[in-house]
Amino acid sequence: MTITLYGIPNCDTVKRARQWLDAAGLAYQFHDFKKAGVPDAELQRWLAELGWEKVINRNGTSWRKLDEAQKAAVVDAPSAAAIAHEQPSVIKRPVVQWADGRLSIGFNEALFDAHR
């Protein structure tokens, strides 16, 4: 199994994560939400293992751009999945599936070091 990094290419956090992986010499696949969409099976796993509250970035610009009715409708994993498919940019980035199958979300060097 290889490392898969999910996100959008113009996200600064995704850029930092990709730079870290490159500098560490770790091979990975990049899954672009904008071009390839959000894979449903993986999204369901993220929601189950990480929790919808962690997967949906309610502090980001994309969330703030949603209307109040859309925000209020996100109350559980199924509603989080619906908004994530409709607006992939609300997913906290990056989501990484490591070579050993573990998942992480977001980026900081300590987190990535722990998964190396």
Give catalytic residue positions: 11
C-alpha distances out from residue 85 to 3, 64, 92, Å: 22, 17, 13
| C-alpha span between 76 and 84 (Å, rounded) | 12
DSSP 10: T
Question: What token pair was written down for 105?
Answer: 């979300």
Q: Residue 51 is which amino acid?
A: G
